[in-house]
Amino acid sequence: MKVEQIYTKCLAQGSYYIESNGEAAVIDPLRDVSHYLDLAKKSKSKIKYVFETHFHADFISGHLTLSNLTGAKIVFGPKADPSYPAVIAEDNQVFEFGDISLTALHTPGHTLESTSYLLKDNNGTEQAIFTGDTLFLGDVGIPDVAQRYRGLSKEDLAGTLYDSVNTKIKPLSDNILVYPAHGAGSACGKNMMKETVDTLKNQKKINYALNGSFTKQGFIEKLTDNLPEPPSYFPHNVRMNQQGYDDLSEIIKKSNKPLSVYEFENLANDKKIKIVDVRHQDEFAKGHVPNSIFIGLDGGFAPWVGSVLSDVQQPILLVVDDGRVEEAITRLSRVGFDNVKGFLRGGFNSWVKANKKVEKIETILATEFENNLNINSSNVFDVRKLTEYQSEHVLNSINIPLNNISNFISDFKKEGSHYIHCAGGYRSMIANSILKQHGIHNLTDIVGGFSSIKKTKIETTEYICPTTL
């Protein structure tokens, strides 16, 4: 028996390839399915099933593509209603492949169709549980209000989730492994651990959903307190996962279109089109195409694309380094953004060589920031999450989380200087690019963000552990 976790850091998402005696199953696959096919080919195994824990909101699954290519049956849990052929499992239904099995355990709460899958070996011994977004390490999935269930509140879903975790998962053997669909950084939970696998025994000790810390009502209140609104692209992703989508190969064929500077500029004149620059933030700061938005490939690319662009139908032009075009298109498609119109041939250098207008972002080292006596701390903007800011921040700085920055443009006056920072420099550059699009140009990015600031003598608030907030 072989269990392989395929973890994608950008999405903080875990999918799984399970193999036994010439047959295999995949759980929650990515849209780009080549890795699962390669694993099966290497061991000469046939992929028999593709299991989905629920209709995902934060990424597009590869279940349809994988099924079309291999003949594997798609399996959802009870109450799922896909628009394509699939097996809708009954609670406790067993699916055998090779000499092992997966048992569908209906665990609603995150969504109504949420289902966990219990792995048993050839002796029928429980080995692992694949919990989807029901149970994370150190946390649980938030009630998925993106699906807008009629007649059900977030409190109703939270209560259902409490029952699922305590009646379906907690009674299982201590020694089994817990494999969740997400880890730290995902928008599907509040405070997940950075680890991506753990024993159920340890989770029963440390996870508030399992260790008896809360009554059902207390759990509901904790889970729904300060529950953020889901990103606007979430319902679109749910719909694509439920109703179907184009194969990634077709998306790449359509989108991988090199454009001359002239062609690129002509298309960019259409105000409906967004120019997305996916290079490193340092390169973007040195120079970029006017009105472009920075969302670098070497950071939390996909979730920020979803949060910043919002509309999955948004037409996109790419500024991307040579050799990374297909990667950029693929990673956009993982969150349902399939409408790429092409990319700037020759990259940003071709724009410069054509003597086109170039814009820049002013930057300052944390040490320079420290020594600049003219800095007014009231003009220091921290674009990290609220919990990060509450944990520790520059004294008198203003917190405007990146995912909400477009609602606070008026806070950035056109006079004076504004110093922008995040934790390490990635999110602050996204913020700078958004602000410039709104006509705010008196911006200076603090290189290295709060991590660099902490190495100086700049006054900060007393540190508070985020888990206590």
In this predicted model, what pLDDT tens digit does every residue of 196-230 receive, in sequence order?
999 999 999 999 999 999 999 999 999 998 887 78
Same domain, residue pair 345 and 447: no
User: pLDDT-based confidence at 186, cuts 50/70/90?
Assistant: confident
**pLDDT at position 115 over 80:** yes
pLDDT digits (tens, 9 = 90+) for 219-263: 999 999 888 778 889 999 999 999 999 999 999 999 999 999 999
Domain hosting 282: range is 246-353
pLDDT confidence band for 185 (50 / 70 / 90)? confident
Q: Are residues 172 and 75 in the same domain?
A: yes
Q: Are residues 217 and 253 in the same domain?
A: no
The predicted structure's pLDDT at residue 294: 98
Q: How many CB atoms lie within 10 A of CB 124?
A: 8
Q: What was the pLDDT predicted at 444?
A: 95
pLDDT band for position 416 (50/70/90)?
confident
469: Cα separation from own chain's centroid: 23
- Please identify, among 184, 206, 235, the residue that sits at the C-terminal boundary of a domain: 235
Give residue 88's pLDDT.
Answer: 98
The dihedral built from the CA positions of residue 437, 439, 445 and 451, taken in this order, carries a sign that is: negative
| pLDDT greater than 90 at residue 468 | no
If one compares 153 and 15, the residue with the highest pLDDT of the two is 15
Residue after which a domain boundary falls, among 235, 257, 276: 235
- pLDDT tens, 283-325? 999 999 999 999 999 998 988 999 899 889 999 999 999 999 9
Residues 317 and 338 in one domain: yes
Are residues 56 and 167 both part of a single domain?
yes
Both tokens of residue 105?
């355990």
Residue with tokens 């989730």: 161
Written as six digits, the tokens of 421 are 């920072």
Query: Tens digit of pLDDT for each residue in 35-54?
Result: 999 999 999 999 999 999 99
- Could you tell me if 178 and 199 are in contact, meaning their C-beta atoms sit under 8 angstroms apart? yes
Residue 72: both structure tokens together: 């594997």
Neighbouring residues of 251: CB distance < 8 A, sequence distance ≥ 6: 329, 333, 338, 340
The confidence score (pLDDT) of residue 14 equals 96
Closest alpha carbon to 303 in 272, 340, 331: 331
Percent of the chain whose predicted confidence (pLDDT) is above 90? 84
Q: Residue 453 falls within a domain, yes or no?
A: yes
Q: Are 201 and 223 in contact (CB under 8 A)?
A: no
What pLDDT score was predicted for residue 467?
63
**pLDDT of 391 over the 60 cut:** yes
- pLDDT score of 377: 57
Same domain (yes/no): 218, 341: no
Give the pLDDT of residue 10: 86
Q: What pLDDT does residue 226 have?
A: 80
Kindly report whether the global pTM for this prediction surpasses the value 0.85: yes
Maximum Cα interatomic distance, the chain, rounded to a whole number of Å: 72
Residue 96: partners with Cβ closer than 8 Å, 6 or more residues away = none
Closest by CA position to 284, among listed 342, 363, 229, 218: 363
Whether 203 and 144 share a structural domain: yes
Q: Does any domain span residue 241?
A: no
- Give the CATH number for residue 382: 3.40.250.10
Question: Residue 219 has what pLDDT?
Answer: 95
Are 212 and 324 part of one and the same domain? no
Same domain, 218 and 282: no
Measured CA distances, 8 to 150, 224, 282, 321 (Å)? 33, 27, 24, 21
Report how far residue 16's alpha carbon sits from residue 417's, in angstroms, rounded to the nearest whole number: 49
Query: Mean of the per-residue pLDDT values for the chain?
Result: 94
20/139 same-domain check: yes
Q: What is the pLDDT of residues 271-287, one digit of tens each?
A: 899 999 999 999 999 99
Does 110 share its domain with 188? yes
pLDDT of residue 375: 57
Last residue of a domain, one of 194, 215, 235: 235
Residues 325 and 193 in one domain: no
